[in-house]
Chains A and B, each alone.
Chain A
């Protein structure tokens, strides 16, 4: 058994060196700890955090900086630990990286104070992921050491290549905070390298977050959209409670994927439960104007009782008007169209036709017109390099 572990570790190290040879993205991230309470909560009180920042001098926020990659990227993520005490790691939750780069201290490596070490990995599947510290993970995650990681396909504004088209996206990471755990004696307890056992308090959170904000702070998360606009909402739960979402029915919510993988059968629903560590992608396709809110309830996983509910406003007003689609770049006419759609200003770019769900129909290559007579009646999109144009086949 021990020989097997050593062999697999050696193979993992060899693999990490082979990945290192072809790096597309090199990124720095710092792990730090507040020396005094400075993160402001919705009621004006302040608390101490442990967390990640992109710049050494930046204040810690929760969640930490979002890590953005393109499908297929090879990445070197350098962690510089400036936290004055505990070791830290980065676990790339859901990316299925090899053991050496998995961020679990006793199975890969940890980064001590004032050390810099690199994680080498690939981002093979578009989707929504997490990263978090896996040193005394119950404490360090509660302390604030977490963030979102998003992998996008090579085609912008698609959920994945051949997937759904969207006009705007939002990402919500939920969590809770128990101020007892953020007191100096708990968050700043001595790091004992001789044991990995740590005594923790009971968990009774008082604050419930979407992107580290709650109550009146959530006005910054308001979703504004037009009718017929596709909105992609990325959801991730890094808390210790369950989340129950209720979406207004007018949004036409469709759950399309989870944990970085498309669903075999997509689910149209107005409720969704997201448990700790899970991620979901939800597509909204509002068909009428309305104003309402999306509610998120936080429930105890042992009693199933809701402890708190947070609401985020959504405002759908106006329509994706046809004239504004011809502002710059290529133009399409007539619109609506029956037989032949003419394109102007197509300059060495491949324009593709997508159906209303974002599914690829065909490419139009450097041509001035295209026969659309065989398309079924409905709404379609012409997607160029920098511009998307909606047209109606009648």
Chain B
């Protein structure tokens, strides 16, 4: 049986650009296994476009002013929740059930959707993705930052408990990939030409803090869910806290290939192997 829940609709529309409309989307909660950079498998659960498991949660792109009509299907055997951070959406979904969410997004930003059940258990186990609301005028790239500990995934998936104050992740991923595979993800790898205005949409859906350092260029913070007062700061290293989102603008002034990576250098490893962690490169052509 399906439930229809109309989430609160924002009536005060800011930044309406005349191109907005209704975007209809479905998400399926499906469990599977996370394949790590060193080919280890551990239990994982994600939202998916189809009832087929993939490692990474879909990115939902909207225009400013769009209304999202979203069906969320729980194909799992346990209860799950569905929350969109910073907007008024929070729903429980029973096993085999589905819910309908309608939400208008009146201003630009990056919003995390995730499973809030037994938080942070299911968010940690993979159920967290991005909704990006923008004017679509700039090339965009998308990073969903996470960390993983395979033993913890097994324990939590099998009903066990963990002590979050002992959290010690071994894998560090961007869109569920680690170096050298991040550069193969065209959504993640930043590419462009000199003078382009490039936007990186970042969400940290992990449980650790990350400190993202850019070689070659400074960027400007255009959006921050945690620290709006930081908007306009020009930096080369960007702290991003758990469940924080951010938009960074880069306008490259020279060509070249430059690393961008977590400057917590322990997070540039994968299962203690350097450099199998949160490391990618920007490629800028003349």
Contact = CB atoms under 8 A, between A and B. Distances in A.
Which residue of A15, A276, A279, A305 has the most chain B CB atoms within 10 A of its CB atom? Answer: A276
Contact of B257 (A5, A273, A304, A305): A5
Contacts of A301: 208-211, 264, 267
Given A138-B274, A197-B274, A276 B259 contact: no
B272 A240 contact: no
Interface stretch (A26-34, A45-53, A261-269): A261-269
Interface in B237-276: 237, 239, 254-259, 262-269, 272-276
B164 interface: yes
A278 B257 contact: no
Nearest to B261: A137
A152 interface: no
Contact of B273 (A5, A98, A199): A199
A265 B234 contact: no
A171 B23 CA distance: 52
Given A8-B285, A102-B216, A277 B263 contact: yes
A265 B263 contact: no
A200 interface: yes
Contacts of B273: 197-200
Contacts of B284: 8
A137 B265 contact: yes
Interface in B145-195: 147, 164-169
B182 to A, nearest CB: 15
B61 to A, nearest CB: 25
A96 B236 contact: yes
A104 interface: yes
B232 interface: yes
B229 A196 contact: no
B215 A8 contact: no
A305 B272 CA distance: 22
Given A107-B258, A302-B147, A302-B168, A141 B265 contact: yes
Interface size class of A (residues with CB under 8 A): 35 or more
Which residue of B211, B229, B236, B269 has the most chain A CB atoms within 10 A of its CB atom? Answer: B236
Given A263-B233, A273-B239, A277-B211, A99 B218 contact: no
B3 interface: no
Contacts of A196: 274-275
A139 B266 CA distance: 9
B217 interface: yes
Nearest to A241: B264
A323 interface: no
A93 B272 contact: no
A59 B213 CA distance: 30
Contact of A96 (B207, B216, B233): B216
Contacts of A275: 209, 211, 237, 239, 263-264
B264 A11 contact: no
B224 interface: no
B235 interface: yes
B286 interface: yes
Interface in A363-380: none
Contact of A303 (B164, B262, B268): B164
B264 A104 contact: no
Nearest to B272: A200
Given A93-B236, A107-B257, A202-B168, 19 more contacts: A8-B256, A8-B285, A96-B236, A97-B216, A98-B216, A98-B254, A102-B256, A102-B258, A107-B259, A138-B269, A138-B274, A199-B274, A241-B264, A273-B239, A276-B265, A277-B237, A277-B263, A279-B237, A302-B147
19 contacts: A4-B283, A5-B257, A7-B285, A8-B257, A15-B254, A94-B236, A96-B217, A99-B255, A102-B259, A104-B215, A107-B281, A137-B265, A138-B265, A273-B239, A276-B262, A276-B265, A278-B235, A278-B237, A302-B168
Interface of A: 1, 4-5, 7-9, 11-12, 15, 91, 93-94, 96-99, 102, 104, 107, 136-139, 141-142, 196-203, 240-242, 258-261, 263-265, 267, 273, 275-279, 301-305
